[in-house]
Amino acid sequence: MIVDSNIEQPILQSQAEQEFNWRQCWYPVCFVQDLPKNRPYTFSLYDEPFVLFPNKEGQLICLTDQCSHRAAKLSDGQIIDGKIECLYHGWQFGDQGKCMHIPQLAKDAKIPNNACVRSFKIVERQGIIWMWAGEAEIADDSIPIIPEFEQAGFVKLDTMRDLPYDQSYFIENVIDPAHANISHDGTRNGGKRENAQPLEMEVVETSSQGIRGRFRGTNQPNANWTSLDFMAPNLIIYKFTIKQKGWIGGLAFYSIPLGKGKCRVLARNYRNFLTGIDKLLPRWFEHWNRNQLLEEDFDLIAGQQAIVERLGKNLEKLYLPLKTSDVLVVEYRKWLDKFGAGLPYYQGYSTAKNISSAEVNQQSITLDRLSQHTLICSSCNQAYQVTKGLKTTFLGVAIGTAALAILADNFWLKISAVSVSFGAIALAILSQKVKTKFENAHTRH
């Protein structure tokens, strides 16, 4: 299915009578540019672990992350000649999860058929790695793509982040445009408190495949509409158009439910105007701003989920929604009521499934930019490693030149060594400040 957020052209089929099957759909795993080249890559879907690795031809293989021998994690192993080898006993697995080698068997012994592990279909579309969660034989071509990316003149910025709360709370957060001017007041690419206003919001269409909606501000007459669509189960897309200038821009929020209390977002900002800025600024520098925007909502959303699950009440008894801000939020939760019965767990508006308040502990929520973003982002991880190396180098230079200043007899040599030492200390301090940008989450003051 092609995602086209133009409000005049429907993208959702009328399938209200169908139950949503979470196994029979595609899930975004990571951006291609963030996939490690020489080691296995692990992720999860509803707490079920998987591992990715390239075969000899460079094609990605996806297997259940569990060795058939003694249930060790295959992702702890290594890639050898296009096969993944279990670190525990050296069993090797290849395409289709077939077990290719068991060191403990005699050379002429046959490898048992049940030594194989389950495999899953993987494809790449528009720079994202996608996994089909069901049987590969029935995989369809419904991966949501964005038509604008096929056109020249568009730039995009991709950001990946792991979040410490359920996917449904993330979707509720980003399908709610009303919060931006308050929660992200004053943040670059965020909002301004003085722009908070009643919104005109419409649900254009709802089906088992998602929700089509749109909104606009009411402070100015005849304001432009912004389309806001939910493509089940993992895409929220904003799109705006300024027809007078031919400007088109949007935000695409893909997500994957890693498990209870955790999800991953693959955020993509795109536009066909003011494109020169993106070519000047490095990706890792822009990620500081994108991470701050996500982190400004962390405590709010984690706290919201903790309260809802502790009270154990349905949202229709807890929420006090407004027609001028919460129409799409309520519609999404009602969508879960209607189509979410097959999901492993969910929190709808009037119903819920497998939600346990006993497991909720807000104090256990970690806001860690290093593990939740930097180490899984190729650009930020590389910049982080360089920054750590520079800090060490500058400290070494500072110590060395300070020692030279102490030992030197020549006055000018002493002055020069002291100057270099102070300069190196200043650069080491600067490197430390940059380093913390990759490690520490933004906190509100």
**Domain extents in the chain:** 26-138, 155-368, 379-439
Measured CA to CA in angstroms, residue 79 lies from 32, 43, 69, 429 at distances of 18, 17, 18, 39
The yes/no answer on whether domain 26-138 falls in CATH 3.30.1280.10 is: no
Confidence bin at 358 (pLDDT 50/70/90): very low
User: So what's the pLDDT on residue 406?
Assistant: 93
User: So what's the pLDDT on residue 444?
Assistant: 78
- pLDDT tens per residue, range 259-294: 999 999 999 999 988 887 777 889 999 999 999 999
Q: Which residue has the higher pLDDT, 256 or 152?
A: 256
Tell me if 26-138 shares its fold with 155-368: no
With beta carbons less than 8 A apart as the criterion, state whether 228 and 325 touch. no
Question: What are the structure tokens assigned to 408, written together?
Answer: 């030197």
- The alpha carbon of 302 is separated from its chain's Cα centroid by a whole number of angstroms, namely 16
Q: What is the pTM of this model?
A: 0.90
Top-level class of domain 155-368? alpha beta
Separation of alpha carbons 173 and 263, rounded Å: 13
Separation of alpha carbons 85 and 92, rounded Å: 4
Separation of alpha carbons 333 and 328, rounded Å: 9
Find all residues with CB under 8 Å of 193, minimum gap 6, and list them.
181, 182, 185, 186
Tell me the H-state helices in 98-214. 167-174, 180-183
- pLDDT tens per residue, range 383-420: 999 999 999 999 999 999 999 999 988 999 999 999 99
Continuous segment of H or E residues that includes residue 336: helix 327-339
User: So what's the pLDDT on residue 355?
Assistant: 83
Question: Sign of the C-alpha dihedral, residues 322, 197, 268, 124?
Answer: positive
Residue with tokens 């993330």: 170
**Distance spanning both ends of the chain, measured CA to CA:** 44
Does the pLDDT value for residue 11 go beyond 50?
Answer: no
Q: 336: burial class by Cβ within 10 Å (0-12, 13-18, 19+)?
A: buried
Cis before 54 (ω within 30): no
Most confident of 29-33, 144-148, 219-223, 242-246: 29-33
